[in-house]
Amino acid sequence: GAVVSQHPSRVICKSGTSVKIECRSLDFQATTMFWYRQFPKQSLMLMATSNEGSKATYEQGVEKDKFLINHASLTLSTLTVTSAHPEDSSFYICSARDEEGTVNEKLFFGSGTQLSVL
């Protein structure tokens, strides 16, 4: 099946710094990518929908200035956590939909990024 590559898999940073997470669709094009956040023992929470060539759509309660999303090409979306604080520590997961499929085509998920803010 299709592969979504997410990098880095783990990052530790100091409070106040910014962290960028990359999500790439390796063998397909993705007009739309999604960013999720997951706390320990909890389900995935959709943060935003990343649209190639346009602004991301954020879910209610997600700060767009805090979580900057850029989707500059059909195979790459990035999430930047700006001025990270300890409460931003979480597992971040991206996903992409294979545009060749139907609207109900399954999403392919990256392996996730564990962010730890000290």
Partner 1 sequence: LAKTTQPISMDSYEGQEVNITCSHNNIATNDYITWYQQFPSQGPRFIIQGYKTKVTNEVASLFIPADRKSSTLSLPRVSLSDTAVYYCLVGDWMDSSYKLIFGSGTRLLVRP
**Any idea of the CA torsion for 70, 112, 103, 61, to the nearest 10 degrees?**
-60
Segment 98-117, which members bind partner 1 (CB under 8 A)?
A: 103-104, 106-112, 114
In the complex, the smallest distance separating the C-beta of residue 94 from partner 1, rounded to whole angstroms, is 8
Least gap, CB of 42 to partner 1 (angstroms): 8
Nearest to 115, CA basis, from 3, 25, 7, 4: 7
Report the distance separating Cα 114 and Cα 26, nearest Å: 21
Pairing of strands 113-117, 10-13: parallel
> From the CB of 8, what's the least distance to partner 1, in Å?
13
Query: Judged by CB under 8 A, which of 28, 34, 35, 67 binds partner 1?
Result: 34
Q: What's the CA gap between 81 and 88, in Å, rounded?
A: 8
| Closer by beta carbon to partner 1, 40 or else 86 | 40
What are the residues binding partner 1 (CB under 8 A)?
Answer: 1, 4, 6, 32, 34, 36, 43-46, 49, 51, 57, 91, 93, 95, 97, 103-104, 106-112, 114
